[in-house]
Chain A
Amino acid sequence: MPQTISIRIDGELVSALQGQTILEAAKQAGKYIPTLCYFEGLSAVGACRLCIVEVAGTDKLLPACTTPVQDGMSVTTTSPKLTQYRRIALELLFVERNHVCAVCVSNGHCELQNLATSLGITNMRHWYNYPNLPVDLSHKRFVLDHNRCILCTRCVRVCAEVEGAHVWEITERGISSRLTSGLNQPWGQVTDCTNCGKCVQVCPTGALAEKGWAVEEMVKQNDNISGLAHRKGGQ
């Protein structure tokens, strides 16, 4: 049985279990920390930096989803500084690829878009990149639109950790990073894909979607996936 420890979140004393992350402890205490790459039940990778928090004793902003709690830790989840850095993280995601919300299947149901709204973003302070990116229509039921992919790797993890099919991987480095399927094949040619659709449902954006939906129509159904992941022995 893991040891129970005490930490402070926004000044309030809460108990947590040794080995838990700050995010898990916060959720348990009913505190909200914004997240984007995190998905309950999948391994945490700390990719998006939306969940950064301040921890007393260090100037570094730490990702709540991958930082373990320590006895006596004092965590701040909301401050002007955190809002500023969370906005920067989001703005960089928006300018990196081509997010045209007005014509997106996920418009109105997108975690990226919702976070921008909740952080009060009205414009991007950086120049847009406008890369030329493909759309993979080869799968009979699903679409991958690289223009909307934020490389959060939720799809990679759910396919490997829950479905056990290991279809997705990130290839290349830095700004050239791309999601890729199979042995760098079109998705429709990857025989390992079971067509389960888990990747589509956990994708926070309109990057992965079911075919046949028009603008605003793709609503992700992923409530049951965390439960499934827990039963598989995930985190």
Chain B
Amino acid sequence: MRKVKLATVWLDGCSGCHMSLLDMDAAIISLAGKVDLVYGPLVDAQEFPDGVDVTLVEGAVSSMEDLHKIQEIRLRTNVLVSLGDCAVTSNVPSMRNPIPVNKLLQRVYVEGADEGKVIPTEGVPPLMKHARPVHEFVKVDVWVPGCPPSAKAILSVVTDLLAGRKPEANPNPKFG
């Protein structure tokens, strides 16, 4: 049987959703037998490959880099999953949204800094005006809210997707 090509991606989030993914105890071993993990923070791959079956997205879209990444990923992914509150609602990253970006950077990198006191521009992607949920930019197929979603919730969604089923609507989706 062909292994399912699975990718994970980490946008503006804390990596907690990836931690939760790894937290599924022994289930991860049988899962590992069924998937080819082709991209993500857990593997060493530079390029997002073509023809990915399932991509789990952690984090909000917050910078121009996030935006380009997610647009590219959407083109190369069959089923896109918004994993966790930051991807689904923008959650904690959105707390900066009411503050204009220039004021925010000024406060953090100049007023709040002990030394340096410059707003970095090189090697860092420009922030967008708002950190926003993934589905406001690209089509999302499945949402798994939670901060983080439980390992059980992730496992159940991934198991359904691997079996080629549309994941059962989570009977108890919970934000937070």
Residue in A103, A104, A131 with the greatest tally of chain B CB atoms within 10 Å? A103
Q: Which residue of A lies closest to B173 (CB)?
A: A122
A123-146 interface mask toward B, CB cutoff 8 Å, 1 = contact, 0 = none? 110011011110000000000000
Offer 10 A-B interface pairs, CB within 8 angstroms, sorted by A: A94-B89, A99-B175, A102-B176, A113-B176, A120-B171, A122-B169, A122-B170, A122-B173, A123-B89, A123-B133
Among the stretches B21-29, B47-55, B63-71, B135-143, the one at the interface with A is B135-143
Among the stretches B4-12, B33-41, B93-101, the one at the interface with A is B93-101
Chain B, 69-107, CB within 8 A of any chain A CB = 82, 85, 88-92, 94-95, 97-99
Q: Closest CB of chain A to B157's CB: distance in Å? A: 11
Q: Is the C-beta of A117 less than 8 angstroms from some C-beta in chain B?
A: yes
Known A101-B85, A101-B176, A122-B170: A128·B95 in contact at CB below 8 Å:
no
Q: A131 touching B98 by the CB < 8 A rule?
A: yes
Q: Is the C-beta of A108 less than 8 angstroms from some C-beta in chain B?
A: yes
A82-114 interface mask toward B, CB cutoff 8 Å, 1 = contact, 0 = none? 000000000000100011111110011000010
Interface size on B, residues (CB 8 A): 30
Q: Which residue of B lies closest to A123 (CB)?
A: B143
Q: A121 touching B173 by the CB < 8 A rule?
A: yes
Q: Is the C-beta of A116 less than 8 angstroms from some C-beta in chain B?
A: yes
Q: B94 touching A123 by the CB < 8 A rule?
A: no
B91 in complex: contacting residue of A102, A113, A132, CB < 8 Å: A102
A128: B residues at CB distance < 8 A: 89-90, 94, 97, 130, 132-133, 136
Known A101-B175, A107-B176, A131-B98: A122·B85 in contact at CB below 8 Å:
no
Q: A130 touching B175 by the CB < 8 A rule?
A: no
**How far, in whole Å, are A68 and B133 apart by their CA atoms in the complex?**
41
**How far, in whole Å, are A141 and B155 apart by their CA atoms in the complex?**
43
Q: Closest CB of chain B to A78's CB: distance in Å? A: 16
